[in-house]
Structure 1
Amino acid sequence: MIVKEIGLSENQAMLHQILEQHQIERTGHKSEKSDMVSFCLTINHEYAGGVVAKKTGNRLHISLLGVSPQHRHKGYGETLIKRMEQEARNNNCRHVTVNTQDFQGLSFYQKLGFHIFGEIKDCPYEGTTKYYLLKELTEEKS
């Protein structure tokens, strides 16, 4: 047995093949294509923030969300999340997930209906906690 370094692209391709075959054997389902979704917020034609997410299956995972300091606490972050939730519904997603640090947006996400389903203390730094959050989507009433 030898463990050696390999190029990232080659390793990822080989791993995807192995994992795809395993998923088919266990579930009967091939992996669905993951799609990236990106929205920005502009104020007076200037970038003020944005949100990026990845849709996989029936889940949309928010990977990046930020609003510039001068525009915070004005509801813009919530507007971006609501837009992403609508995108999730439009793509038949049942879940929106996100992870955040205790010093970032935990209360913000909880206020918007996300709940904690996991946490890791002292991660990624001693004295901090990483939280994993989920929001189950329901049909919006017209």
Structure 2
Amino acid sequence: MKIIELTYEDNQQQISNLLEKHSKSSDPNIPPYVRETISLAAYEDDIYIGGVTGDMVWNILNVHLLAVDLNYRGNGLGAALLKEIEARARLAGCKVSELTTMSWQAPHFYQKQGYAIFGEIKNCPVEGETKFYLKKIL
């Protein structure tokens, strides 16, 4: 046996193939392991002011990144971006959305948007900070 580096995309595909085979052997009713990405951006007069990215697998939306330019915060743009990615995921058949955020980032923002904390890692990445895991039924 040897372990080598492989491009992220190629390795992702190989891992997906293995997971697919395992899933089908465990339960033939499990849907295919197909990852679909979503990437939305907001502009004001041709200036990028925010965006959100995520992917969907097995009817679950995983929100990866969401950010709004400091000059545009507090005006509902973050909520609008999140609402739009959720709406697109819902149309694609997603039943739940999940994400992570850090204590100094936006846990309260996501809770206002209907997300509930279901897990946390304290003192991560440094003493006194927490990584939160949140979910929302779509």
TM normalised by structure 2 equals 0.88
Q: Shift in Å at residue 15 of structure 1?
A: 3.6
Structure 1 31/107 Cα, relative in aligned 2: closer, same or farther at 3 Å?
same
Counterpart for residue 140 of structure 1: none
Q: Shift in Å at residue 14 of structure 1?
A: 4.6
Conserved in 1, the CA contact under 8 Å of 2:20 and 2:33? no
What do residues 15-53 of structure 1 show as CA deviations (whole Å, max 9, x unaligned)? 434332221111223533211101111112211000001
Q: Shift in Å at residue 105 of structure 1?
A: 0.5
Counterpart for residue 57 of structure 1: 58
Whether 2:4 is the aligned partner of 1:6: answer: yes
What do residues 29-81 of structure 1 show as CA deviations (whole Å, max 9, x unaligned)? 35332111011111122110000010112111110100011111111100101
Whether 2:24 is the aligned partner of 1:24: answer: yes
Whether 2:81 is the aligned partner of 1:80: answer: yes
Structure 1 5/100 Cα, relative in aligned 2: closer, same or farther at 3 Å?
same
Q: Shift in Å at residue 90 of structure 1?
A: 1.1
Counterpart CA distance in 2 for 1:105 and 1:111 is: 10
Counterpart CA distance in 2 for 1:31 and 1:122 is: 37
Whether 2:111 is the aligned partner of 1:110: answer: yes
Corresponding letter in the other structure for 2:46:
H
Counterpart CA distance in 2 for 1:56 and 1:15 is: 14
Counterpart CA distance in 2 for 1:55 and 1:12 is: 15
SS at 1:8 equivalent: coil
Corresponding letter in the other structure for 1:113:
G
Q: Shift in Å at residue 12 of structure 1?
A: 4.7
Counterpart CA distance in 1 for 2:53 and 2:73 is: 18
Conserved in 1, the CA contact under 8 Å of 2:102 and 2:130? yes
SS at 1:47 equivalent: strand
The percent of aligned pairs where both chains have the same amino acid is 37
Where in structure 2 are there 5+ consecutive unaligned residues? none
Counterpart CA distance in 1 for 2:118 and 2:74 is: 26
Structure 1 11/34 Cα, relative in aligned 2: closer, same or farther at 3 Å?
closer
SS at 1:135 equivalent: strand
Q: Shift in Å at residue 11 of structure 1?
A: 5.2
Where in structure 1 are there 5+ consecutive unaligned residues? 138-142
Corresponding letter in the other structure for 1:56:
V
